[in-house]
Structure 1
Amino acid sequence: MRNVQQAPPLASTSLFTAGKQMRFLETLKRLRFSGQLVFTSSKEEQWVFYLYLGHIVYATGGIHPVRRWQRNLEAHCPHLLAYRSTLQRDLASLKTTSSTLCWEYQLLSAWVAQQKITSEQAASMIRSAIAEVLCDLVQAMRVIYQINQDNSLSTPLVLVDVQEAIAAVQEYSRIWRNPTIADYSPNAAPVIKRPEELRQRTSEAVYQRLTQLLNGQRTLRELAVQMKQDIVQVTRSLQPYIQLELMELISIPDFPSPVDTPVPETPLLPAEPTGSLIACVDDSPLVRQTMEALLVAAGYQFLGVDDAMRAFAILLARKPDLIFLDLVMPNANGYEICAQLRKLSTFRDTPIVILTGNGGIVDRVRAKLVGASDFLSKPIDAGIVLGVLRKHLKQGAQRMKSEG
């Protein structure tokens, strides 16, 4: 019998194209996943989503997380800007805090607890941050992702529904994909390139206003906030000058981070997942697709089988390290398949986990009688599935070690 591999860490990578990022967030919602989802672009930009039971708790990252924080603070909690010394003291206290959450969220939590801001103000800042991160993520055409399970966040400030968050930025994303402005990054800063020619083409009042605003220190997003206009409107108003090369868009750095925080490790892109091979025998396409999304994201190899009658031949050929087996399928049920698999020496010790929508005690007892290793109820929960995987693969590795 071949060695049972150790369960890999809950971090893996895959290649995405535009749009799939959103569908993966929806899959994690369906799985009630808790933890961090890190997207990394080909330019090594990173965006981090913090999730609790499939809902978004916060999002950060990109090239300007501190500028984003500053904009949101000015927009939703302007009274705090008058207390710079208090801000610095609160930030300093976070440096000793051991948490997997980013400093921005920790600070919001502290301010709500201290009644410096209301829960509604915190929720507004969180929703604004999530919307901006989603907008930037949509523009990233090729990204890899990494998930890290984490159940430490038990009292989130607000739970943002994934579909609700995506719907909030759909119109913005549709407009920004327009070829006329698609090449312009909202994180770029406009600066006057040919001042004399610009002066000749505008009135003196407009020219003076433009020279005041377009100093290369404010991004398009920051200009929109300052001018109290929509960012698309601001970008389109500057577009003729950019096309005439009277202005140009330049990259500018983020403000210095007020807190030293560890940066998520950039995941490497393997040719294919290298963890244990996990099979799922289930006639439901949704169940197989959901399990595949979770398991591949967690670093496992996946084998989906949709036909109970073909399951034996496929499983014998591939010899998975663990098998998820649906209880109710056409032509055969999970009890029968499990009992037959246990008669084969190849699967004598392979963990077999029964999946069912009925979690009654009778079904659980019967599953044990036919040799099932465990029993999981649907709908699938990411934390439970990954916990079962770790438990049984670890037990298998320990058993192989003691026998060898």
Structure 2
Amino acid sequence: MSAKQITPVISMNFLTTLKPVRFLKTLKRLQFSGQLVLTGSQGEEWLFYLYRGSIMYATGGIHTVRRWHRNLAVHCSQMLANTSAWRDILAGINTTDFTNCWEYQLLCIWIARRDITQVQVAQVIRSGIAEVLFDIAKVSNVTHQIKPDNSLSSQLPLIDVDEAIKQVEQQWQAWQEPKIINYSPNQAPVIKQAKKLQERSSTDIYQTITKLLDGQHSLRDLAVQTKRDVVALTHLILPYIQLGWVELITIPDLPTPVSGEKLPTPPKKDSTRVLVACVDDSLQVRQTMEKLLTTAGYQFLGVEDGVRSLGILLTRKPDFIFLDLVMPNTNGYEICTQLRKLSSFRDTPIVILTGNDGFANRLRSNFAGASDFVSKPFDTKTVLDVIDKHLKQDAVISH
């Protein structure tokens, strides 16, 4: 689709009168927790995750994955340089268990593993919210739906609704110039008349332009690549667009790193059965634990890979966790320490499993935040007693 087909939005105070923006402000006052789903006239869908009236994350629209790549490139480029690693993390997680979008899950895992900082996470979230709000403002006839969800928990920095609106207002005003208002930063410039462009440009400029304006990268993508403001970049190529030498076209999003365009709603946990997780690289230990726990009436979650365990535990949120002390590439102390930093596991009973029941190990387990210590080989009575002990303690504390 060419740029001429985009309907301009003219009002300078459009953001303050935009119904979804007003609705966000209302949800802030109500301290709403859950999802706000916005749908555009062409079927575009955006999601805001809110916790007690603040924005946890915003996603959706036509370029969800492109936005994710751009924000990583700007705020934590080291993670974009290793896409295979975070794709592997997502591949190891059952996507039907996602309570939030996959981007948020990755950020939670990275922050727990100290791969990125809280400042970087906040920057990624703010930038994503700003883009989503901007894109919503470019669309007419947006409908909304709210999905209350009090099970949501804040594991990452929260963004104030008014702060987010203020940030995008500056970007929105800059885009209201008559020469560019009809265009979208999601469109991609492509050379339409290469011969005329070559005749009127120096060799260096022509080579640079042809390399950048390949029709595969949006204006926002190019702004990040060239380290320019998207408005300034658009003005640079505007003369070529006005001459008809360059055209702005609509391009698809990049492939999603998870299977399926939309993730199904996660199943609700059976509240009558406690879920017990065992993170251990030994198949024999996991099988033994599964047999005795399921026989006793518990649900069981076995996790082999200690490195991937954070993501799996985040999505399943077990009621009780056993951690092997020694595993390839990590250990129970490290995983326990990382789990305790997440609000979801601050009070979850975590028991270390080890074949070396020494004072030093017990002391270190306490420092890591472990609830208890069980020696290998273990028997049924020991396992069931330690579960009963700590779940009863939790029940007393919660009351």
Fold agreement, TM-score > 0.5 = yes
Aligned partner of 2:138 in structure 1 is 139
> CA shift at 1:262, angstroms?
6.4
Distance 2:198 2:261 in 1: 47
Q: 1:201-220 to 2 correspondence within 5 Å? A: 201-220=200-219
Q: Secondary structure at the match of 1:116?
A: coil
Q: 1:2-401 to 2 correspondence within 5 Å? A: 19-96=18-95, 98-260=97-259, 263=262
The answer to whether the 8 A contact 2:55-2:158 is kept is yes
Structure 1 residues 224-278: Cα deviation after superposition (integer angstroms, max 9, x where no partner): 001111000111111111111100011111111111356389xxxxxxxxxxxxx
Describe the shift of the 1:47–1:96 C-alpha distance in structure 2 as closer, same or farther (beyond 3 A). Answer: closer
> CA shift at 1:17, angstroms?
10
TM-score of the aligned structures, taking structure 1 as reference length:
0.59
Q: Secondary structure at the match of 2:92?
A: helix
Describe the shift of the 1:133–1:230 C-alpha distance in structure 2 as closer, same or farther (beyond 3 A). Answer: same
Distance 2:230 2:166 in 1: 18
2:136 partner amino acid = L
> CA shift at 1:71, angstroms?
0.9
Describe the shift of the 1:55–1:110 C-alpha distance in structure 2 as closer, same or farther (beyond 3 A). Answer: same
> CA shift at 1:18, angstroms?
6.1
The answer to whether the 8 A contact 1:95-1:259 is kept is no
Describe the shift of the 1:149–1:261 C-alpha distance in structure 2 as closer, same or farther (beyond 3 A). Answer: farther
2:117 partner amino acid = T
Over the matched positions of the two proteins, sequence identity in percent amounts to: 54
Describe the shift of the 1:187–1:158 C-alpha distance in structure 2 as closer, same or farther (beyond 3 A). Answer: same
> CA shift at 1:197, angstroms?
0.7
> CA shift at 1:97, angstroms?
5.6
5+ residue gaps, structure 1, are 1-15, 266-404
Task: Tell me: higher relative CO, structure 1 or 2? Use CA pairs within 8 A at least 6 residues apart.
Answer: 1
Describe the shift of the 1:53–1:155 C-alpha distance in structure 2 as closer, same or farther (beyond 3 A). Answer: same
Distance 1:188 1:18 in 2: 25
Distance 2:83 2:151 in 1: 31
> CA shift at 1:22, angstroms?
1.2
> CA shift at 1:156, angstroms?
3.1
The answer to whether the 8 A contact 1:18-1:140 is kept is no
The answer to whether the 8 A contact 2:86-2:106 is kept is no
Distance 1:262 1:44 in 2: 14
Describe the shift of the 1:80–1:264 C-alpha distance in structure 2 as closer, same or farther (beyond 3 A). Answer: closer
The answer to whether the 8 A contact 1:38-1:146 is kept is yes
5+ residue gaps, structure 2, are 1-14, 265-399
2:25 partner amino acid = E
> CA shift at 1:65, angstroms?
0.2
The answer to whether the 8 A contact 2:187-2:251 is kept is yes
Describe the shift of the 1:41–1:114 C-alpha distance in structure 2 as closer, same or farther (beyond 3 A). Answer: same
> CA shift at 1:73, angstroms?
1.2
Distance 1:255 1:182 in 2: 25
Describe the shift of the 1:32–1:117 C-alpha distance in structure 2 as closer, same or farther (beyond 3 A). Answer: same
Cα RMSD, aligned residues only: 1.9
Describe the shift of the 1:51–1:157 C-alpha distance in structure 2 as closer, same or farther (beyond 3 A). Answer: same
> CA shift at 1:82, angstroms?
3.6
Distance 2:64 2:186 in 1: 11
> CA shift at 1:21, angstroms?
1.9
1:230 partner amino acid = D
Distance 2:159 2:220 in 1: 23
Q: Secondary structure at the match of 1:50?
A: strand
Q: Secondary structure at the match of 1:178?
A: coil
Structure 1 residues 14-60: Cα deviation after superposition (integer angstroms, max 9, x where no partner): xx996222111111101111110011110111111000111000000
The answer to whether the 8 A contact 2:95-2:263 is kept is no
TM-score of the aligned structures, taking structure 2 as reference length:
0.60
Distance 1:189 1:243 in 2: 15
Distance 1:158 1:166 in 2: 17
Query: Which range moved further: 45-54 or 196-205?
Result: 196-205
Distance 2:207 2:84 in 1: 35
The answer to whether the 8 A contact 1:40-1:46 is kept is yes
Distance 1:227 1:18 in 2: 34
Query: Which range moved further: 139-148 or 77-86?
Result: 77-86
